[in-house]
Structure 1
Amino acid sequence: MPGIHKIINGVIRFRQTVRQQLVTQFERIRDNPNPTAVFFTCMDSRMLPARITTSQVGDMFIVRNSGNMIPHAKNYGPAGFEVSVTTEPAALELAVKRGKIKHVIVCGHSDCKAINTLYNLHTCPGAFDPQSPMDHWLRRHGFHSLRRLEERLKAEKKTPLEFVVDNPLFSFSAIIDEEDKLNVEDKLSQINTLQQLENVASHGFLKEFLETHAVNLHAMWFDIYTGEMHMFSKGKKRFILIDESTVEELLGEIEKTTR
């Protein structure tokens, strides 16, 4: 059992090295934690949200699942009127309505095994396993991303995809991989990440928070092989590499829409 040995021995190393430092941080924020964001990302073992963002104890909520998907409100009942009882909308309510966070971040990544599976189910429908919870999850919540991928592949590379929600303030356009450097699965991964912003905005309990800019929606995309993080710019309609030359412009765009 080498896997569990590594985990348990890791707990011992934790006790011997960073435990006391973390306990001190826990004590400092115990009665007044003040996270400012909820970070939705994939459960892929290569994704390390706290390390990638150098976040500390209490900085943000983290929600992980297969494919960093947040179900659209209309997945619940014929008209979307039933209350969702899945983790993702519940986490949104906890973070936004009760936790008063300011930012909802959805972070996808390259070589996403869930997205690769979704694309395989699209190109090889016979691969769908009726007994597979993951296949059902991906097919149900990945449909709109696949439809937009088909739009992207049929159109000119510079043709933007339109992400539309009931309130036009939160609709946006996106040019995906204009230089055509990504494989089709990674194109789908970026589209899927943006689709989740539309899905988040569909939930009625967030309406007031979004319309008053009390909370803002962001999309990030991490390249597993280069270690580089990209952020979607609504102004530029594309994912932009976050580095020293772009950070001020990206922050400026965010500040314009933050209350």
Structure 2
Amino acid sequence: MDKLLKGIMKYRSTVRDTMVKQFLKVKDNPTPKAVFFTCIDSRMLPTRFTQTNVGDMFIIRNAGNLVPHSHCFPDEQNSNEPAALELGCVVNDIRHIIVCGHSDCKAINLLYKLRDPEFASKENRRLSPLRSWMCTHAQSSIDKFEESIPNDFNKPLLFQGETPLRKFVAYIDPDKKFSIEDRLSQINTLQQLQNIASYGFLRKKLEKHQLHIHALWFDIYTGEIYYFSRRHKRFIVIDEENFAKLFEEVIVYYS
């Protein structure tokens, strides 16, 4: 707490006045541009690495950057993630949803171990809310991951896109740069796009191309950020060499 208190005092003397001006500016006319799902990992600082400002994004964080599939919430059962989707995309008419995974994700590292049936047993899951959360809402990511094991990730995976008739394929780490757990993290990130598209209250916007879903992936130890390019069917690093072609793709696909 001493570090937090000192940080608050530094904030008061440096950036508070600037932030208050920004708060007042967006008070009566907030125009957030994205709903941003990411992990609770303390190393993930999305407003810093996207250089976004006050009022730019709704940010939702949980262990493993999961968006539970709509079939998990029948009747009156609810969860924060779909509520955030409705608040952002229906109430506030935000047009872009972003899911951002990352390397060395402790939740995903645990998910990799949960491939062991005994470790993932109901008895063991009852001992751990985190284990239960990952088993309940990330099994589809494990299923996708298992599809890639026999061919050593050399064949593409098929994901459902924004509507049942729209699909996209993905090559996962074709250059073999990342660990096996990080490959699972990338698959898990893409699986959330499919989960988001399962919500009926988003269907019309998705069908009319008034709402778009994207995937980012952050490499913790290099600081590089990757964008999933549907044109190139893989995660591509956002850098000086690739920026122009990724920017063009975003303009063509999502404008």
Report TM bin, short chain. over 0.9
d(CA) in 2 for partners of 1:252, 1:211: 22
Distance of aligned partners of 1:166 and 1:91 in 2 relative to their CA distance in 1, 3 Å threshold = closer
Match of 2:199 in 1: 203
Is the 2:101–2:218 Cα contact (8 Å) retained in structure 1? yes
Q: CA RMSD, aligned part only?
A: 1.5
Using the TM superposition, give the Cα deviation of residue 168 of structure 1 relative to its aligned residue in structure 2, in angstroms: 4.2
Distance of aligned partners of 1:89 and 1:180 in 2 relative to their CA distance in 1, 3 Å threshold = same
Match of 2:60 in 1: 63
Is the 2:68–2:81 Cα contact (8 Å) retained in structure 1? yes
3-state DSSP of counterpart to 1:185: helix
Match of 1:95 in 2: 88
d(CA) in 2 for partners of 1:99, 1:225: 35
Using the TM superposition, give the Cα deviation of residue 166 of structure 1 relative to its aligned residue in structure 2, in angstroms: 8.1
Taking every aligned residue pair, what percent have the same amino acid on both sides? 49
Match of 1:184 in 2: 180
Instruction: Give the stretch that moved more between structures: 127-136 or 13-22.
Output: 127-136
Is the 1:165–1:202 Cα contact (8 Å) retained in structure 2? no
Match of 1:50 in 2: 47
Match of 1:229 in 2: 225
Deviations 1:105-127 (A, max 9, x none): 00000000000111112136336
Q: Does 1:141 align with 2:137?
A: yes
Is the 2:171–2:233 Cα contact (8 Å) retained in structure 1? yes
Gaps of 5+ in 1: none
TM-score, normalised to structure 1, is 0.93
d(CA) in 2 for partners of 1:17, 1:164: 47
Question: 1:106-145, aligned counterparts within 5 Å?
Answer: 106-123=99-116, 125-126=118-119, 128-145=124-141
Distance of aligned partners of 1:95 and 1:84 in 2 relative to their CA distance in 1, 3 Å threshold = farther
Is the 1:69–1:196 Cα contact (8 Å) retained in structure 2? yes
Match of 1:5 in 2: 2
TM-score, normalised to structure 2, is 0.94
d(CA) in 2 for partners of 1:117, 1:240: 26
Match of 1:218 in 2: 214
Is the 1:162–1:171 Cα contact (8 Å) retained in structure 2? yes
Instruction: Give the stretch that moved more between structures: 175-184 or 99-108.
Output: 175-184
d(CA) in 2 for partners of 1:18, 1:161: 45
Is the 1:63–1:91 Cα contact (8 Å) retained in structure 2? yes
Distance of aligned partners of 1:232 and 1:172 in 2 relative to their CA distance in 1, 3 Å threshold = same
Q: Give the counterpart letter for 1:106 in structure 2.
A: V
